[in-house]
Structure 1
Amino acid sequence: MIQSMTGYAAKTRDLEFGSLSLELKSVNSRFLDVHFRVCDEARLSEPALREAIAARVGRGKVECRVYFMAAAKSARQLQLSDELLAQLAALDRQVRRELPEARPLAVGEVLRWPGILGDETLDPEALAAAVLETARAALDDFCASRAREGDKLKAVILDKVARMRTLVADVAPHIPAAQAAFQDRLKQRLVDAIGSADDERIRQEVVVFAARIDVAEELARLATHLDEVERVLKQGGAVGKRLDFLMQELNREANTLGSKSVVSEVSQTAMDLKLLIEQMREQVQNLE
């Protein structure tokens, strides 16, 4: 399976003590880079979340967001904590003795104080377990979305490979005759300049130039690299870095092909190959 580095998933769970929401999204990155935006109640779960994500994701910039909203108590359950209220009142008096200009606690501030309406203590371990369970379910959807995107990118790359093979196959049969004609023209120019067709210097120059414009090796290496691209895609897994290297090698051969070209057909083919390679590189950079 080939995975894209672009993915998204979200899960929401209703718990006995509140509502939990978890969101995962990712974009391209050279390495695995995980960022968290976790509510205070779920901070305990962050190390387990990081471990769970690293076990399923190899590369990409991943953002994990966790939200928790505590369940509201019914009117029947609302009851002030006399002990905590007395402590707040004592602290309020002490602060205003030391700081006479300080304003007293407002009713709204008192009612929002943790635990003032009775036993509202949230079990952090229970919430952490719920977060991890929700994250595993979200990771299933997240990886599935990355795999679907990876399949699409694979099809695009293979299509570019097929088009490159067609370009090479179309131009290859015409190269020997085109190069031979160019060598004949070169020889005639040298004869016109030197004045003798039997001059050893002419033969040497033609032989040397023929070696310089021979592109058979570049075409063979292009075919080999294209075979490797197909093999890597068929093998699957984390292929992005390997394919990125192969794009560099393909581009190197296309550049050399263009620089050695002495006929317009080869020059145009080299340009078309470079365009396809760049299009493949853009897709490869999205793969894990």
Structure 2
Amino acid sequence: MVYSMTAFARCEQPTDQGTVVWEIRSVNHRYLEASLRLPDMFRELEGPLRERVRKHLARGKVECTLRFHPAAEQAESINLNQPLLQELINASQQISQQLDNPAAINPLELLAWPGVLNSSEADQTGLMKIAGTAFDQALDELKTQRGREGNELAKLLEERLDGISQCVATLRELMPELLGTHRQKLVDRFREAQLELDNTRVEQELVLLAQKIDVAEELDRLDTHVNETRRVLGSRQAMGRRLDFLMQEFNREANTLGSKAIDSRSTQAAVDLKVFIEQMREQVQNIE
């Protein structure tokens, strides 16, 4: 299955102690790079959560942010770190005295300050478990969204592959006609120069011309690349790097075809190929 590297997921889980909110964003990246932003009271989750990200995702820059909003009505039933809380209040008051229009102290912000809430061990363990479960839900949502976008990318790539196959078929049909046209041009040039036609010399020139404009090998390789790309798109493994390599191979063959183009039709076919390949290359950059 094709997965995009670009997605966003959010999971909000209310509890008696407050609300746990996870936001996970992922964007394109050559490798997997996960960063976690956690409140101090949740720091012990960082290692296990990183492992979960590595288990489910192969590539992308992934930012995971956890926010915890304590329940205001639970403040009195929770064991508060009174010395720290008083220090925060005193510091806020000192700062307010130096300001012209100080804002009122927000109790919820004080509760969110690391170390102000001294929950019991049982409460802390339960909160950690809820945060881990919410993270799994957000990660599943992220992967689902990456899958949906990946399916759309696969459809776009299949359309471009069809276009490339059509260009290859057109060029195959054109080659005998192009060779015949250039044979006649060569004969006409001999006649215009009033040179005696030497059939052997003419045939030699035609052989050299045929070798110069022969693109059968390039067309065969393009067909092979199309088949390989479709095979990779149908696999179940991370495929972004493999597809990126195939785009380079596609581009190599298209450049060769362009250099061997001998009339406007073959030139246009080579240009169309490069357009399809560039469109695929841009989309492949988003694939895991």
CA contact (8 A) 1:179 1:263 kept: no
- For the structure 1 residues 6 and 75, does the alpha-carbon distance in structure 2 shift closer, same or farther, using more than 3 Å as the test? closer
Matches within 5 A, 1:43-122: 43-73=43-73, 77=77, 120-121=118-119
Compared CA separation, residues 136 and 77, structure 1 to 2 (3 A): closer
The aligned counterpart of 1:134 is 134
Give the Å deviation of 1:73: 4.5
Q: Secondary structure at the match of 2:62?
A: strand
| Alignment length (residue pairs) | 273
- Helix, strand or coil at the partner of 1:133: helix
* Unpaired segments ≥5 residues, structure 1: 93-102
Compare 179-188 and 153-162 and name the one that shifted more: 179-188
Distance 1:198 1:35, change over 3 A: same
Provide the secondary structure at the position in 2 that maps to 1:235: coil
- Counting only pairs closer than 5 Å after superposition, residues 186-205 of structure 1 correspond to structure 2 as 186-189=186-189, 195-198=195-198, 203-205=203-205
Residues 75, 278 of structure 1: alpha-carbon distance in 2 compared, 3 angstrom cutoff:
closer
Give the structure 1 partner of residue 26 of structure 2: 26
Report SS of the residue matched to 1:249: helix
- Higher mean alpha-carbon deviation, 167-176 vs 272-281, is at 167-176
Amino acid paired to 2:26: S
Query: Aligned partner of 1:217: which letter?
Result: E
Q: Is the 8 A contact 1:19 1:68 kept in 2?
A: yes
Q: Which runs of 4+ in 1 moved over 6 A?
A: 78-81, 113-117
Q: What is the CA-CA distance between 1:49 and the residue it aligns to?
A: 1.1
- Normalised by the size of structure 1, how large is the TM-score? 0.82
Query: What are the residue-to-residue correspondences of 1:103-252 with 2, within 5 Å?
Result: 120-121=118-119, 123=121, 124-189=124-189, 195-198=195-198, 203-252=203-252
Pair 1:270 & 2:270 matched: yes
SS state at 2:209 partner: helix
Distance 1:42 1:51 in 2: 16
| TM-score normalised by structure 2 residue count | 0.82
Q: Deviations over 1:73-114 (max 9, x none)?
A: 458658988xx66xx89xx9xxxxxxxxxx7xx9x79xx598
Q: Aligned AA for 2:242? A: R
Secondary structure of the residue aligned to 1:8 is strand
SS in 2 for 1:253: helix
Contact in 2 for aligned 1:167/1:269 (Cα 8 Å): yes
Alpha-carbon distance in 1 for matches of 2:141, 2:171: 46
In the other structure, the counterpart of 1:96 is none
Structure 1 pair 80–37 and aligned structure 2 pair: CA distance change class (3 A): closer
Which residue of the partner structure matches residue 10 of structure 1? 10
Cα offset, 1:277, TM superposition: 0.8
Contact 1:187 1:206 in 2 (8 A): no
Q: 1:151 to 1:78 in 2, by over 3 A?
A: closer
User: Which residue identity is paired with 1:120?
Assistant: N
Cα distance change, pair 76–271 in 1 and its aligned pair in 2 (3 A): closer
Q: Do the aligned residues in 2 keep the contact of 1:191 with 1:202 (CA within 8 Å)?
A: no
CA distances 1:239-274 after superposition (whole Å, capped 9, x unpaired): 111111111111111111111111211110110111
* Larger Rg over CA atoms: 1
Give yes or no for contact 2:39–2:114 (8 Å, CA) kept in 1. Answer: no
How much has 1:14 moved relative to structure 2? 1.4
Measure the CA separation in 1 of the matches of 2:120 and 2:205.
87
Q: Which moved more, 1:232-241 or 1:18-27?
A: 232-241
Deviation at 1:6, TM superposition (A): 1.0
Q: Which amino acid aligns with 2:64?
A: C
2:101 paired residue number: none
Question: Distance between the aligned counterparts of 2:75 and 2:272, measured in 1?
Answer: 73
TM superposition shift of 1:194: 8.7
The structural deviation recorded for 1:174 is 2.1
